[in-house]
Structure 1
Amino acid sequence: MTDTTLMTAQDALVAVMVACSASDQDMRTAELVAIQRMVGHMPIFAGYDTDRIREVTRIVIDLFEEEDGLDALFGLVRAALPERLFETAYALACDVVTADGHHTQVELQMLEEVREELAVDRLHAAAIEWGARVRHMQP
C-alpha cells in the first residue's frame, strides 16, 4: 500500500487505533498489543493481512508530521470507512486508549476528535466509552 488512496476499511480502522495510540507521542506496549490482538481476533478483520499494520502506522506517523495531517488522516478514514463502521472505529479507539489502564489528556482529546469527525452520537459514545472502561478495569 504505497498510495494512501488505496486504504481499505480495515486499514482505516487500524489507522484510527494507531492515531489514538500515537496522539500523545508515546505508543505504549499495551496499546500496540491491544491493536495486534483486536486485528488478530475480531471478525471485522477476518482475512486482513496483519503485515499492513506496519504500513498503516507509517502513514499515520507521516501524516502527524504534516501541518494539516490530522485533517488528511480523517479524510482518508472517512473515504475508506463505510458509515456503518464509524461506531466500530470509535469503539476500537476507546479500547486502545484504555488498554494500558490510564490515558492522557491528549488521548482523550484525540478520542473526542474521532467522535466528532465520525459523527458518533454522544449517547452512543458514552455507552462505548463505558464498555471500554469496564473491559479494561484493573484490580
Structure 2
Amino acid sequence: MPTSAHEGLIHIMVIAASSDNTMTQSEWRRVEGLVGRMPVFEGFDPSRLTDVANACVEKVNGAPGLDGAINDALAAIPVKLQDTAYALAVELTALDLHLSQEELRFLEMLRDRIEVDRLTTAAIETAARARYRRMPG
C-alpha cells in the first residue's frame, strides 16, 4: 500500500495514464507538472516521483494486480481527497482527447470505489472536456 496520500494520488495518476496499456511522454510530463504545481502535493519531494511511479507499476503487474493497486491507493487517500483523486485520473485520461475503452473502464472502476457522488464525478468529467476542447475547423 502507498504509505502516504501523496503516493496514493500518484498511483491513481499512473494507473490512469497507463490504463490504455501505455504511458506516453506527454502523460508522464503531465504527471510531473501536476505534482509540481498542485497544492495537494505540497510537502511531496518531487525527486521521489519516479520511484513512486515505478512502485505502482510493479504493484499493477504483480500479485495485487490492478484491483489491488487501486484499492491500496484509495486506502491511502483520505475520503475528503477522493474527488481530487478522481479529477487527477480524468485529467490524465482526457489528455489525448480520446478515451479508449480501457480508460473508460478504469474511470468506471474508480467511480464505483470512491465516496464521491455521481453529480460531482459528472462535473469533473465535464470540466475536463471543456478544458481540452479545441476550436472547430
TM-score clears 0.5:
yes
Q: Is the 8 A contact 1:90 1:114 kept in 2?
A: yes
How far apart are residue 70 of structure 1 and its match?
1.8
Instruction: State whether structure 2 residue 21 is matched by structure 1 residue 19.
Output: no
Aligned length: 135
One-letter code of the match for 1:128? Answer: I
Q: Give the aligned partner of residue 24 of structure 2.
A: 28
How far apart are residue 60 of structure 1 and its match?
1.9
Q: Is the 8 A contact 1:28 1:100 kept in 2?
A: no
**Where do 5+ consecutive residues of structure 2 fail to align?**
none
Moved over 4 A (4+): none
1:46 to 42, 45, 59: 42
How far apart are residue 107 of structure 1 and its match?
0.7
Instruction: State whether structure 2 residue 53 is matched by structure 1 residue 62.
Output: no
The percent identity for this pair of structures is 36
Q: d(CA) in 2 for partners of 1:98 and 1:85?
A: 20
Q: Is the 8 A contact 1:20 1:97 kept in 2?
A: yes
Q: Is the 8 A contact 2:79 2:115 kept in 1?
A: no
Structural RMSD (CA) = 1.5
Q: Is the 8 A contact 1:93 1:111 kept in 2?
A: yes
How far apart are residue 75 of structure 1 and its match?
2.7
Q: TM-score, normalised by structure 2?
A: 0.90
Instruction: State whether structure 2 residue 133 is matched by structure 1 residue 127.
Output: no
